[in-house]
C-alpha cells in the first residue's frame, strides 16, 4: 500500500509541475482467484495479477483521461504526458471540477484475504447441492471468485483515500432440461464477504433454481390483455435501473430530454415507493466509499414516498445544469419493503404475469418499453397457472411508477441491491 | 509493436500438457460530444502476458500486468500449478486434444496510435455541421470509438502467431420531439476494421450519412405504433445479421451446446427453410476480406469457416480444440480471448445468413400487410433460440408499398421455428461490425445478411 500511495502522490505532483491545477489520480493493484465450471463440470482455475493507473486532468477546463495497467515510474510519467496531450484539444468547460478536502481516510472493506481452499470447497458444495436438490438443472457456466484490491486515490485539492478491499462473488448461468425440452437460461448471483454460509442459501439462488425447473414446459399467452406484472427483485432491479437512469441520469438531464427534469420535489411515483442509493448500507457488500471526483459517498433518497428527492448526477452535470450532484455515484438501490407477502400479492392478481427476466432493448427517452417476458409465469384468478413463452409486455416506465399495486414484505439482498417484489397494473401483455 | 519475449520460453512448456503463452496489448480510445459538450475524452491501454495449461480435462490459467521474462516465468508456473490443483481435486482424466500441425503466422501490421486531438477535432466538426444544419433537433451526440488488439502467441502445438485487430467507428445519434412532446431517436455507426486514420479522413464525407439519419428521423417523428401480433415482415440486413449471431450463432457455440442449448438436439436436422444457409466466416467472405478477419485463434488453430446451416439443415458447431475433441469435429479457430488476462472462449467471428436470389423491390411488393424492419439497437437471445431484437427504424408495408415509419418496437420469435417461415431471401448483403458480443468477456464480432421475408411477433399497441 505504501508503494501505491507514493505513486499516486507522485502522479499528482507531476501534473501540478506542468501548471495544471485540477487533477485526479488513482493507482491500484489487485489479485483475482477464480474457479469456473462449464456444462456442469469444473473447467478452469485462474489467478490474475493486475494493476491500474487512471489519470484525469482538467487543463484550464479541458478534460483528459488516460488509464493503463502499468504503475512503474516511466508508465506514470507517460500516462501524465498522454493525459495532458489528450486534454489540449478538448473544449474548455469550467463545469469540470474535483472535490475539496473534507476528511481524508483509509478504508478496509469486506474480506481482503481469500481462503482459496475453502472457496473451492464451497463451490464444490454448490455443485453437489444443485445436482441433488435441482436435478433438472444444467449449469451452463459458473464463475466463483475472490478479488483482493488495494488502491490509493489522490486529487489536486489534497483529497487522499487509501482502500484495502476484498469480496467473493458467485455468478451462475443455468437452465433446466427434460429430454429434448429445456427452459430459458437464467442468471443468478451474489457478492459476499464471508464463506460461512452455503452458497445455495445466498441471495435468491435457491429460489431461482427452483423456478427455472418449473419453466421447462411453457405455454404462449393467447391474445392481448391489460394486466398486472409482478417483478421479482432481480427484474425489478432492471426496471429501476432503466427508469431512474432514463429520467434522473446524466445524459437526459444534460441534453434536456428527461421527462422528470422539472419534477424535483414533486410526486413522480406511488407514495409507497421509496428508493435510496445506499452504498454504505451494511447489506451492500460492493458499495463505493467515494465518488470519482473525490467526495465521500453518502446514502441518499432518489424517491421518498413517491416524491422525487434527487437526480443521479455527476459533479460535472450538476455544475453544468445548476443542479445538485448526487451524494454517491453508485446504483446501490434499496427499495423499502411493503407489508404484504408475495403469496398474498399473487392471490390478489386477477390476470397477469410474474416476469423473472425482461429481455428488451433500451426504453425510449419518454419511458416507453417493450420486451419479451422470459422465465415468467402466467397468473389467473390469484393462482400461478403455467410458465409462459413468446409473450411480450409493453408499457411506460413513468406510468409504471404510478401504477403500483403492491410491494412485498420480503426482500432479497444480493450484496449489490436490497429489493422486494413489486407488482404494477395496466401493463399490456400480448401473446400469439 | 509488441516485442517477442515469449517464444524463447517455449522449450520450457510442460511436456504432459497443452500450453498456450500469449502477450497482448489492447488499446481503446473514446470521445463523446453531447449537444456540443465534450463529455468523454479517454484513452485506455492494457498489456501483459498470460498462460493457459490444459491437463486431463481441466485448465489452469494465470496472467500478469507486465511483459518481461520474470512475468512470463511466473504466469507459466502459476498456470501449471492451477491446472495441477484442479486435476488433483476434480480427476476428469480426459484425453489430450488432437495434435495440430506446427506453423507460423504474422499479419505484419503495426497499429498506429492516433493522437487524441484527431478524434476531438473530427467530432467537433461533425457536431458543428449537425448543429448548424439541423438546429431544431432536441439532442445530438457524436461519438468516436476505436479499439485494437495486438497479440503474440506461442502454443505447444498448432500455430505460433503475431496478429492485430484494430477497428474504429463514428456514431451519430439524433433526437427530435414529436408534436405531442415525445422524443424519438435514431443513430447510425459508420466504420469498420482499421484504425481511425485509415477509416476517416474528412468529416465532410459523413455529411450524407448525417443527412440520411435526419431524413429518417423526420419520418420517424411522424411515425405510428406498430400493430402488435404475428406479422409478415422483411428483416433488413442488420436484422438478419443480428438473427444469425444472437438467435442461431450462440446456440451452435459448442460450449453452449454442452450447456444444454437447443442445437444439441437438432444436429443434422432441418431447422430452417431450404432458402436459409448460415456460415461463421473466418477471414474471407464472398471473395473479399470479412469485416473482422481472424486467421489464427488464441489456441493456435488456423481459422476456417464454420458452416452452421446448409440449405436449412443444421450441419455443425463452432468449436475450440476441447469441444472439437468431444464432438468429433474439426476445430474451426473460434477460440478467442479479449484481454491479456482472459482465457480463450468459443466466440463468433463474422456470422452471416447467405444471400439468395430475390430482389428487394420484389419482396416488398409481395407483402400485402406487414413491415419492413431496417435498424436495430439491441438483440438478445436464449439458448432455446427465443430471441428479442429492438427495432429503431422500420416502415409499414401496405399492398406491396412502403408506408409510414413506425416508432421503436421489439420483435421476437424462436429461431428454429421462425427460420422455417423464411420464403424469400434477397440477393444483397449488409455487414455490421461495430458491436461487442458479451459472453463472460466482450469480443468484437461481425454479422450480416440479406433481406429475409418471414413471420415474427412484433410489439406495439
Q: In chain A, pLDDT over 70 holds for what percent of residues?
A: 100
Those residues of chain B that have pLDDT short of 70 are 460-461
- Which of A68, A372, A399 to mutate to probe the B interface, most B CBs <10 Å? A372
Minimum-distance CB partner of A45 among B85, B182, B390: B85
- pLDDT tens digits, one per residue of B138-148: 989 999 999 99
Q: Which pLDDT value is given to residue A324?
A: 96
Residue B325 has what DSSP assignment? H
Tell me if A364 and B184 make a contact (CB, 8 A cut-off): yes
Give yes or no for residue A2 having a pLDDT over 80.
Answer: no
**Structure confidence at residue A398 as a pLDDT band (50, 70, 90):** very high
Q: Which residues from chain A sit within 8 angstroms of residue B45, using beta carbons?
A: 66-69
Which residue in A255, A314, A92, A261 sits closest to B34, CA to CA? Answer: A255
> Which pLDDT score is estimated for A34?
98
> Any chain A CB within 8 A of the CB of B63?
yes
CB contact under 8 A, A182 and B260: yes
C-beta neighbour count of A223 within 10 angstroms: 9
Q: Which set of grid coordinates corresponds to residue B362?
A: 420484389
Coil vs helix vs strand at B11? helix
The domain A2-213: what is its CATH number? 3.30.2290.10
- Taking the Cβ of residue B184 and every Cβ of chain A, the question of whether any pair is shorter than 8 Å is answered with yes
Shortest distance between the Cα of A22 and any Cα of chain B, in A, equals 16
Using a CB-CB cut-off of 8 Å, the residues of chain B touching A141 are 259, 440
Residues 217-246 of chain A with CB under 8 A from chain B are 224
What is the average pLDDT across A170-194?
94
Flag whether residue A149 sits within 8 Å of chain B, measured between CB atoms: no
| pLDDT of A274 | 98
Distance from CA of A108 to the nearest CA of B (A): 24
Shortest alpha-carbon distance between residue B143 and chain A (Å): 13
> What are the chain A neighbours of B36 within 8 Å (beta carbons)?
91
Asked if B116 lies within 8 A of A89 by C-beta distance, the reply is yes
Residues A92-126: tens digit of each pLDDT = 999 999 999 989 999 999 999 999 999 999 999 99
Q: How many CB atoms lie within 10 A of CB A106?
A: 12
The predicted structure's pLDDT at residue A431: 82
C-alpha cell at B274: 431450404
Sorted by where each begins, the domain ranges of chain A are 2-213, 217-432
Q: Which helix (H) or strand (E) holds A213?
A: helix A205-213
Q: Quote the cell numbers at residue B220.
A: 420517424
Report the distance separating Cα B353 and Cα B450, nearest Å. 7
B21 closest CA partner among B44, B45, B2, B41: B2
Q: How many helices (H) and strands (E) does chain A have?
A: 9, 20
Nearest beta carbon to residue A63 from set B41, B48, B83 = B41
Displacement of CA A36 from its chain's centroid (Å)? 22
In this structure, what C-alpha cell is assigned to residue B177? 420531439
- Residue among A389, A222, A394 at smallest CA distance from B227: A394
Q: If you average pLDDT over residues A396-425, what whole number do you get?
A: 97
Which residue is associated with the grid cell 471540477? A97
What digits encode the pLDDT tens for the residues A241-267?
A: 999 999 999 989 998 889 999 999 999
For B46, the closest of A68, A359, A389 (CB atoms) is A68
Q: Which residue of A has its CA nearest to B225?
A: A368
**Residue B37 in contact with partner chain A when CB distance is under 8 A:** yes
Predicted local confidence at residue A90, as pLDDT: 86
Categorise residue B27: left if φ over 0, alpha if ψ from -120 to 50, beta otherwise. Answer: beta
Contact A390 B383 (CB under 8 A): no
Q: Which of B363, B374, B358 is nearest to B411 (CA)?
A: B374
In this complex, is the C-beta atom of B125 within 8 Å of any C-beta atom belonging to chain A? no
Q: Which of A45, A96, A175 to mutate to test the interface with B (most CBs of B within 10 A)?
A: A45
Q: Which of A58, A218, A358, A361 would best serve as a mutation to test chain B binding (most B beta carbons within 10 A)?
A: A361
Residue A388 backbone class (left: φ over 0; alpha: ψ -120 to 50; beta: rest): beta
Could you tell me the three cell numbers for A192? Answer: 459476499
In this complex, which of B35, B407, B410 lies closest to A392 when CB atoms are compared? B410
Distances, alpha carbon B139 to alpha carbons B1, B96, B187, B216, in Å: 40, 57, 12, 15
Res A362: pLDDT? 77
List CB contacts (< 8 A) between A185 and chain B. 259, 382-384
The minimal CB distance from A88 to the residues B43, B117, B184 is found for: B117
Average pLDDT, chain A: 94
Enumerate the residues of chain A whose CB falls inside 8 A of the CB of residue B85: 45
* Window from A161-170, A205-214, B108-117 with minimum mean pLDDT: B108-117
Tell which residue, A246, A244, A365, has the closest CA to residue B176. A365
Are B176 and B186 in contact, with CB atoms under 8 Å apart? no
Beta bridge partners of residue A218, listed in sequence order:
A387
pLDDT for position B460 = 65
Closest CA to A402 of A369, A372, A427: A427
For chain B, domain boundaries: 7-221, 229-458
Best mutation target among B18, B382, B393 (most A Cβ atoms within 10 Å) is: B382
Task: Supply B390's cell numbers.
Answer: 429492438
User: Out of A67, A360, A390, whose CB is closest to B414?
Assistant: A390
CATH number, span B7-221: 3.30.2290.10
Q: At what angle do helices A116-133 and A205-213 cross, to 10 degrees?
A: 30
- Of B37, B48, B258, nearest to A69 by CB-CB distance is B48
B224-236 burial by CB neighbour count: b if 16+ within 10 A, else e?
eebebeebbbbbb
Q: Would an 8 Å CB–CB cutoff place A251 in contact with chain B?
A: yes
The pLDDT value given to residue B461: 61
Show which of residues 401-420 on chain B sit within 8 Å of chain A, judged by CB atoms: 407-410, 412-414
**Measured distance CA(A52)–CA(A70) in Å, rounded:** 6
Residue A237 cell numbers, joined:
432491479
Amino acid at each position: 500500500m505504501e508503494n501505491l500511495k507514493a505513486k499516486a502522490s507522485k502522479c499528482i505532483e507531476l501534473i501540478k509541475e506542468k501548471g495544471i491545477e485540477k487533477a485526479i489520480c488513482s493507482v491500484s493493484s489487485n489479485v483475482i482467484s477464480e474457479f469456473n465450471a462449464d456444462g456442469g463440470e469444473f473447467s478452469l482455475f485462474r489467478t490474475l495479477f493486475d494493476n491500474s493507473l487512471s489519470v484525469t486532468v482538467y487543463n484550464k477546463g479541458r478534460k483528459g483521461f488516460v488509464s493503463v495497467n502499468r504503475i512503474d515510474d516511466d508508465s506514470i510519467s507517460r500516462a501524465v504526458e498522454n493525459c495532458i496531450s489528450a486534454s489540449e484539444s478538448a473544449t474548455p468547460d469550467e463545469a469540470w471540477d474535483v472535490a475539496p478536502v473534507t476528511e481524508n481516510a483509509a478504508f478496509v472493506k469486506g474480506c481482503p484475504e481469500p481462503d482459496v481452499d475453502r472457496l473451492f470447497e464451497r463451490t464444490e458444495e454448490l455443485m453437489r447441492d444443485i445436482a441433488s436438490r435441482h436435478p433438472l438443472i444444467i449449469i451452463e457456466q459458473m464463475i466463483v471468485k475472490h478479488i483482493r484490491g488495494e488502491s490509493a486515490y489522490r486529487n489536486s485539492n489534497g483529497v487522499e483515500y487509501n482502500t484495502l478491499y476484498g469480496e467473493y462473488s458467485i455468478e451462475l448461468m443455468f437452465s433446466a432440461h427434460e429430454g429434448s425440452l429445456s427452459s430459458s437460461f437464467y442468471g443468478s448471483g451474489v457478492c459476499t464477504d464471508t464463506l460461512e454460509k452455503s452458497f445455495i442459501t445466498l441471495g435468491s439462488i435457491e429460489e431461482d433454481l427452483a423456478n427455472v425447473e418449473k419453466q421447462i414446459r411453457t405455454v404462449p399467452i393467447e391474445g392481448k390483455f391489460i394486466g398486472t406484472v409482478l417483478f421479482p427483485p432481480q427484474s425489478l432491479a432492471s426496471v429501476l435501473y432503466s427508469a431512474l437512469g432514463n429520467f434522473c441520469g446524466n445524459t437526459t438531464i444534460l441534453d434536456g430530454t428527461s421527462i422528470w427534469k422539472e419534477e424535483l420535489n414533486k410526486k413522480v411515483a406511488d407514495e409507497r415507493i421509496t428508493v435510496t442509493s445506499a452504498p454504505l448500507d451494511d447489506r451492500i457488500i460492493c458499495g463505493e466509499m467515494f465518488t470519482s471526483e473525490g467526495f465521500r459517498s453518502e446514502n441518499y433518497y432518489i424517491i421518498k414516498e413517491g416524491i422525487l428527492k434527487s437526480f443521479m448526477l455527476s459533479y460535472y452535470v450538476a455544475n453544468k445544469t445548476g443542479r445538485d450532484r448526487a451524494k454517491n455515484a453508485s446504483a446501490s438501490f434499496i427499495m423499502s419493503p411493503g407489508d404484504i407477502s408475495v403469496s398474498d400479492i399473487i392471490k390478489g392478481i386477477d390476470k397477469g404475469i410474474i416476469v423473472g427476466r425482461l429481455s428488451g432493448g433500451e426504453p425510449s427517452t419518454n419511458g416507453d418499453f417493450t420486451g419479451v417476458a422470459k422465465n415468467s409465469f402466467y397468473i389467473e384468478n390469484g393462482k400461478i397457472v403455467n410458465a409462459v413463452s413468446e409473450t411480450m409486455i409493453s408499457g411506460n416506465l413513468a406510468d409504471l411508477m404510478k401504477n403500483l399495486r403492491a410491494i412485498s414484505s420480503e426482500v432479497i439482498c444480493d450484496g449489490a441491491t436490497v429489493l422486494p417484489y413489486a407488482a404494477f397494473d395496466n401493463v399490456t401483455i400480448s401473446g400469439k | 509493436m509488441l516485442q517477442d519475449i515469449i517464444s524463447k520460453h517455449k522449450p520450457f512448456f510442460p511436456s504432459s500438457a497443452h500450453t498456450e503463452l500469449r502477450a497482448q496489448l489492447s488499446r481503446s480510445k473514446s470521445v463523446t460530444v453531447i449537444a456540443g459538450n465534450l463529455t468523454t475524452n479517454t484513452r485506455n491501454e492494457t498489456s501483459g502476458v498470460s498462460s493457459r495449461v490444459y491437463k486431463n480435462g481441466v485448465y489452469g490459467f494465470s496472467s500478469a500486468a507486465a511483459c518481461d521474462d520474470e512475468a512470463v516465468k511466473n504466469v507459466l508456473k502459476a498456470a501449471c500449478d492451477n491446472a495441477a490443483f484442479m486435476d488433483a481435486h476434480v480427476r476428469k482424466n480426459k484425453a489430450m486434444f488432437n495434435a495440430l500441425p506446427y506453423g507460423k503466422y504474422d499479419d505484419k501490421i503495426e497499429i498506429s496510435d492516433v493522437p487524441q486531438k484527431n478524434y476531438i477535432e473530427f467530432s467537433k466538426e461533425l457536431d458543428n455541421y449537425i448543429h448548424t444544419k439541423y438546429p431544431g433537433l432536441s439532442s445530438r451526440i457524436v461519438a468516436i470509438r476505436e479499439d485494437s488488439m495486438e497479440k503474440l502467441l506461442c502454443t505447444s502445438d498448432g500455430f505460433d502467431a503475431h496478429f492485430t485487430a484494430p477497428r474504429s467507428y463514428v456514431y451519430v445519434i439524433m433526437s427530435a420531439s414529436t408534436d405531442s412532446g415525445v422524443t424519438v431517436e435514431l443513430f447510425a455507426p459508420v466504420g469498420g476494421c482499421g484504425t481511425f486514420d485509415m477509416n476517416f479522413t474528412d468529416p465532410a464525407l459523413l455529411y450524407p450519412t448525417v443527412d440520411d439519419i435526419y431524413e429518417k428521423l423526420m419520418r420517424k417523428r411522424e411515425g405510428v405504433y406498430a400493430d402488435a401480433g404475428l406479422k409478415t415482415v422483411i428483416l433488413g440486413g442488420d436484422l438478419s445479421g443480428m438473427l444469425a449471431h444472437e438467435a442461431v450463432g450462440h446456440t451452435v457455440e459448442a460450449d453452449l451446446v454442452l450447456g444444454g442449448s437447443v442445437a444439441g438436439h437438432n444436429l443434422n436436422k432441418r431447422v430452417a427453410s431450404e432458402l436459409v444457409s448460415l456460415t461463421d466466416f473466418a477471414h474471407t467472405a464472398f471473395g473479399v476480406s470479412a469485416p473482422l478477419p481472424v486467421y489464427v485463434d488464441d489456441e493456435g488453430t488456423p481459422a476456417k469457416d464454420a458452416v452452421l446451416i446448409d440449405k436449412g439443415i443444421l450441419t455443425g458447431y463452432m468449436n475450440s480444440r476441447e469441444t472439437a475433441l468431444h464432438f468429433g469435429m474439426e476445430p474451426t479457430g473460434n477460440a478467442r480471448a479479449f484481454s491479456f488476462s482472459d482465457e480463450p472462449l468459443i466466440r463468433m467471428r463474422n456470422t452471416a445468413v447467405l444471400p439468395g436470389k430475390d430482389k428487394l423491390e420484389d419482396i416488398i411488393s409481395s407483402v400485402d400487410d406487414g413491415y419492413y424492419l431496417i435498424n436495430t439497437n439491441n438483440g438478445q437471445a436464449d439458448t432455446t433460440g427465443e430471441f428479442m431484437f429492438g427495432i429503431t427504424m422500420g416502415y409499414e408495408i401496405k399492398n406491396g408499398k412502403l408506408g409510414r415509419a413506425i416508432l421503436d418496437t421489439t420483435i421476437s420469435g424462436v429461431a428454429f421455428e421462425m427460420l422455417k417461415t423464411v420464403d424469400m431471401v434477397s440477393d444483397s448483403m449488409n455487414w455490421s461490425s461495430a458491436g461487442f458480443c458479451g459472453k463472460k468477456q466482450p469480443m468484437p464480432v461481425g454479422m450480416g445478411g440479406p433481406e429475409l421475408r418471414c413471420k415474427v411477433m412484433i410489439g406495439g399497441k
